[in-house]
């Protein structure tokens, strides 16, 4: 049965982050007035005592767990231990404490990085265990994947209503544009805009440009998460994506055109490409809880670029 979120107390971890800010807006639009978003300055969710304190403060009926340590290929390579430990510890302890507190529903965000390196395209949820993740972000992917096992086992033993969503790469306004820790879209947008402003003749990009990716606009992702929270109650993981694939080279050329950068795109082939291809089978989300992405890729990129160019966002 569908959950009426307007009648529930909801805790959103990571509510101050990129995706979290849009999920909070979507919950408000759904009439959910009792929302608690614990901030890291007050609650360190890698510590059990802080998790218990957050649950006591928020008294949630529903938890949407978005908090994560994330970053691009470079950040994952620099801090694989941190990415594994903090993501695993946050999720494992939060799920356990939510069970002990009698939380009605737990919504966990996984990652497309959990998929095996050479998953057939488009990625079906049934392929999730057919190989090891791509090495550059495997620690992060495996940590998240463990939470799926936990939720499924808790459903089996305790009857806990926990669901697991697998979003593809997200982008949009309010994203992280730090060149060391950002993902590919904000990094290329920033490089193109700054090079244009300086009059540079070229920008340097990682890899060969031949790898492919799928991207989901952040507002669409927030809609999918809230729909799943309201309507989905099964152990099977569910992809959240837009159902298309673009090479990094074509992506860079598109962003250069949209930002007005006319210089050369130079590819540093000494840097890794990451997973060779990435695109999701999105049929399960549509069938199970009626989610289909609505924002066209070019329109989403325009909105992201326009936001970055606004005063105070750089």
List 115, 140, 171, 232, catalytic entry: 140
Angle between helix 184-198 and helix 248-259 axes, rounded to 10 deg: 40
Report whether 221 contacts 240 (CB < 8 A): yes
Whether residue 115 lies in the annotated active site: no
Report d(CA 53, CA 144) in Å as an integer. 23
- A 10 A CB-CB count for 28 gives 11
Angle between helix 218-231 and helix 18-29 axes, rounded to 10 deg: 50
Report d(CA 119, CA 18) in Å as an integer. 28
- A 10 A CB-CB count for 96 gives 14
DSSP string covering 140-198, please?
HHHHHHHHHHHHHHHHHHH---EEEEEE-EEE-TT----TTT--HHHHHHHHHHHHHHH
Report d(CA 277, CA 121) in Å as an integer. 7
Catalytic residues: 140
């Amino acid at each position: 049965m569908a959950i009426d979120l307007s009648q529930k107390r909801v805790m959103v971890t990571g509510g101050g982050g990129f995706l979290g800010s849009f999920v909070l807006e979507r919950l408000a639009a759904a009439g959910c007035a009792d929302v608690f978003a614990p901030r890291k300055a007050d609650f360190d969710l890698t510590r059990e005592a802080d998790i218990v304190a957050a649950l006591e403060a928020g008294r949630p009926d529903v938890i949407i767990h978005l908090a994560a340590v994330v970053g691009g290929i470079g950040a994952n390579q620099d801090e694989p231990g941190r990415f594994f430990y903090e993501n695993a510890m946050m999720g494992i302890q939060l799920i356990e404490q939510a069970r002990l507190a009698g939380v009605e529903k737990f919504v966990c965000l996984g990652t497309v990085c959990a998929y095996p390196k050479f998953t057939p395209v488009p990625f079906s949820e049934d392929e999730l265990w057919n190989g090891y993740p791509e090495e550059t972000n495997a620690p992060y992917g495996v940590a998240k994947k463990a939470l799926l096992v936990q939720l499924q086992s808790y459903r089996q033993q305790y009857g806990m209503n926990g669901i697991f969503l697998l979003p593809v790469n997200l982008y949009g306004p309010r994203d992280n544009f730090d060149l060391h820790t950002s993902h590919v879209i904000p990094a290329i947008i920033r490089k193109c805009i700054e090079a244009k402003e300086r009059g540079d003749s070229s920008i340097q990009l990682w890899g060969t440009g031949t790898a492919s990716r799928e991207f989901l606009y952040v507002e669409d992702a927030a809609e999918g998460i809230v729909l799943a929270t309201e309507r989905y109650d099964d152990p099977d993981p569910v992809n959240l994506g837009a159902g298309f694939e673009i090479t990094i080279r074509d992506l860079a050329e598109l962003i250069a055109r949209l930002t007005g950068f006319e210089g050369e795109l130079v590819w540093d082939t000494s840097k890794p490409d990451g997973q060779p291809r990435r695109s999701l089978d999105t049929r399960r989300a549509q069938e199970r809880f009626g989610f289909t992405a609505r924002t066209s890729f070019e329109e989403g990129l325009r909105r992201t670029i326009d936001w970055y160019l606004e005063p105070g966002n750089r």
